[in-house]
Amino acid sequence: MLQGSPTELVASFERQRQAFALDPDPTLATRLSRLDRLAAWLDSHESDIVRAIDVDFQGRSAHETRLAEVFVVRTGIRHAQRVPTALHFRPAYNRLMPQPLGVVGIIAPWNYPLQLSLGPALAALAAGNRVLIKPSELTPRLSALLVSMAREIFNPDELDVAIGDVELGKAFASLPFDHLFFTGSTQVGRDVAQAAAANLTPVTLELGGKSPAILDVSCNVAVAAQRIAFGKLLNAGQTCVAPDYLLVPAGTAENVASHLERAITKLYPKLASNPDYTAVISERHRARLAEMVREARTAGARVIEVNPAGEAFNAASRKFPPTLVIGAPVATRLMREEIFGPVLPIVEYANLDDALAYVQRNARPLALYWFGDDASRCNRALRETVSGGVTINDCLWHLAQESQPFGGVGPSGMGAYHGKWGFDTFSKRKPVFHQARWNGTALFHPPYGHTFNWLLRVLSRIA
C-alpha cells in the first residue's frame, strides 16, 4: 500500500513492471484466479463497503451502494470470466491475438468509488495486466478498504492501491503506464491526457458533461417523470449519466414540473431523514449547488424546492432537496456547468429542430435521454445528435449493459469499457498472419514480368 509518497509510487510501479516482464502472458487460470479472489472479497465485504461509503458521504443509501457499486462490479466479473476463453482459443489462419499491455493505471472519482475503481480494474486483470489504482481523496474510508482488499487478496505486483491527494494524482498520471484509465471531470481529464502524452501513454477518459433528457410531444409525461426522478435522484444526482437538464415542448414546463413533484414525493416521502436519500459529498459541493440555484433565481428563474415532509435542510446534514428550475437563462452556471446534484433545470423548446439544435450547439454529452412514442422523431434525435450513449424512454440503464460499450465522445470522454470493450481496451489486439508452407506470394517477387502483370490484373478485379 502506498501512502502519498511519490518514491513508493515509483517503486510499486517498477515492481509491477518487473513482474509483468517475468510473466507477460498470464494463463487463463491465473487471470480467473485474480477475478475469483475479487469476487469472493466482494461477497464477504459487502457490509464493510456499504458502511465505508456511507461514512464518506455522511449518508449514502445502502441500497444504492448494493445496486450501483457491488452488483455492477460483480456482474462485470462474471461477464469477464467468460470473455477471455472465447477470444483466446479461436484457431485461424489470420489471428487477432489479444495480448496484455503491461501495467495499467486507474484514477477513480468519488461518486461511485467502488464501481469506478474495480470496474476498470477487473477488465484490466481479465486482460492479463498488472493494476495500480488511485482512488479519490474524497472517499478515504472506501479507499482504506480498497487498500486492505489489495493486501488481503493480491500480491502488490498484481494489484496495488495508491492513496493520496491531487499531488499524488499528478505524480501518478506522469508514470509511464502502458495504459492510463481516468474517470473524472473533463477539466482534470485534460491535465491527465497531457501528462500521459509526455510518455505516449494511451488513455481512456471517462468524463462528465451536461446530459439532456428530451421529452417529445408524443411522450407519456407521468411515466417519464417517474423515470427521470429516479435517474436524477439516484446518489442525489451525483451520477455521471444523470439527466442534467430537461428539454420539454413549449408551454409544458409547469405541467412537467408538477408530475416530477408527484414522482419525487412517491420515491422519497421524506428526504433529510431518509437514509435512502443520499447526501452531497462535501460542504464545498453543497455550497456550489446552493450558489447555482441562487444565481438562477436572481436571474429570474422559477425555483421549485421539493420537500414533501417540510423538513429542515441544514448545511451540517449535507443533504440537498430536489430542486426544479424553470426558465434559467442560458448564461447562468446552472445552464453552463455540469450540475452533479439533485437540481434539474427545465427548458422549453419551440419544436424538434429547436431542441436538437440546442443539443448540437453544446458540448457532446455523455448520455442523452429521449422520452416519446413517435419512432421517426426518435430516430431523428438519434441520427442528429452525438452522445456517449442513449437510453430511450428511461434513464441510466444503457450504462448497465455489459454487452454494450460504455464511454463518452469528445468532451465527455474517449475510449470505452464494460464487457468485451473493457477487455479490448486493456489488450493489444495484435494481428498475426500465419504463412503457409506452400503459397503463391513468391509470384510477387522480382524480376517482374508477364506473370506479375497478369496476376495483378486478375487480383485487381477480384480483391
Smaller CB separation from ligand NAD, 68 or 101: 68
State in angstroms the smallest separation of the CB of 195 from ligand NAD.
6
Q: Is the peptide bond before 447 cis (omega within 30 degrees of 0)?
A: yes
Smaller CB separation from ligand NAD, 100 or 419: 419
Q: Which three cell numbers stand for residue 59?
A: 449518508
Q: Confirm or reject binding of residue 108 to ligand NAD (CB under 6 A).
A: yes
Considering only the stretches 7-15, 84-92, 202-210, 377-385, report the one whose residues sit in contact with ligand NAD under the rule CB under 6 A: 202-210
Smaller CB separation from ligand NAD, 271 or 367: 367
Q: Confirm or reject binding of residue 185 to ligand NAD (CB under 6 A).
A: yes
Q: Is 395 a catalytic residue?
A: no
Q: Pick from 285, 380, 418: which is nearest to 339 by CA? A: 285
Contacts with 122 (C-beta within 8 Å, 6 or more apart), sequence order: 35, 38, 73, 76, 77, 80, 422
Smaller CB separation from ligand NAD, 66 or 170: 170
Q: Confirm or reject binding of residue 191 to ligand NAD (CB under 6 A).
A: yes
Q: What gap in Å lies between CA 226 and CA 142, rounded to an integer?
A: 31
Q: At what angle do helices 253-267 and 221-233 cross, to 10 degrees?
A: 60
The residues that bridge with 369 in the sheet, in sequence order, are: 213, 391
**According to CB under 6 A, which one of 156, 208, 321, 422 is a site residue for ligand NAD?**
208
Q: Confirm or reject binding of residue 374 to ligand NAD (CB under 6 A).
A: no
State in angstroms the smallest separation of the CB of 379 from ligand NAD.
26
Q: Confirm or reject binding of residue 413 to ligand NAD (CB under 6 A).
A: yes
Q: Confirm or reject binding of residue 109 to ligand NAD (CB under 6 A).
A: yes
Distances, alpha carbon 197 to alpha carbons 132, 177, 203, 440, in Å? 19, 11, 9, 43
Q: Confirm or reject binding of residue 207 to ligand NAD (CB under 6 A).
A: yes
State in angstroms the smallest separation of the CB of 309 from ligand NAD.
30
Considering only the stretches 5-13, 40-48, 168-176, 304-312, report the one whose residues sit in contact with ligand NAD under the rule CB under 6 A: 168-176
Q: Kindly name the residue from 206, 338, 348, 402 that is annotated as catalytic.
A: 206
**According to CB under 6 A, which one of 10, 166, 250, 309 is a site residue for ligand NAD?**
166
Q: What gap in Å lies between CA 438 and CA 432, rounded to an integer?
A: 18
Q: Which three cell numbers stand for residue 453?
A: 502483370
Q: Confirm or reject binding of residue 417 to ligand NAD (CB under 6 A).
A: no
Contacts with 115 (C-beta within 8 Å, 6 or more apart), sequence order: 68, 69, 72, 73
Smaller CB separation from ligand NAD, 69 or 394: 69
Q: Confirm or reject binding of residue 141 to ligand NAD (CB under 6 A).
A: no
Q: Which three cell numbers stand for residue 132?
A: 495500480
DSSP 281-297: S-HHHHHHHHHHHHHHH
283-306 core/surface letters (b: 16 or more CB in 10 A; e: else):
eebbebbbebbebbbeeebeebeb
Q: Kindly name the residue from 219, 240, 378, 395 that is annotated as catalytic.
A: 240
Antiparallel, parallel or unpaired: β 367-371 and 389-392: parallel
Q: Confirm or reject binding of residue 340 to ligand NAD (CB under 6 A).
A: yes
Q: How far is CA 37 from the centre of its chain?
A: 24
Smaller CB separation from ligand NAD, 173 or 214: 173
Q: Confirm or reject binding of residue 188 to ligand NAD (CB under 6 A).
A: yes
Q: Is 219 a catalytic residue?
A: no
Q: What gap in Å lies between CA 35 and CA 125, rounded to an integer?
A: 7
Q: Which three cell numbers stand for residue 78?
A: 462474471
Please count the residues of this chain forming the interface with ligand NAD, following the rule CB under 6 A: 28
Please count the helices (runs of H) and the strands (runs of E) in the chain: 17, 16
Q: Confirm or reject binding of residue 347 to ligand NAD (CB under 6 A).
A: no
Q: What gap in Å lies between CA 370 and CA 160, rounded to an integer?
A: 41
Q: Confirm or reject binding of residue 192 to ligand NAD (CB under 6 A).
A: yes
**According to CB under 6 A, which one of 240, 280, 356, 359 is a site residue for ligand NAD?**
240
* Window 298 to 337, contacts with ligand NAD (CB under 6 A): none
**According to CB under 6 A, which one of 184, 341, 389, 405 is a site residue for ligand NAD?**
184
Q: Confirm or reject binding of residue 183 to ligand NAD (CB under 6 A).
A: yes
Q: Which of the residues are catalytic?
A: 206, 240
Residues of the shown chain interacting with ligand NAD in the complex, contacts defined by CB under 6 A: 107-111, 116, 134, 136-137, 166, 169-170, 173, 183-185, 188, 191-192, 206-208, 240, 338, 340, 366, 408, 413
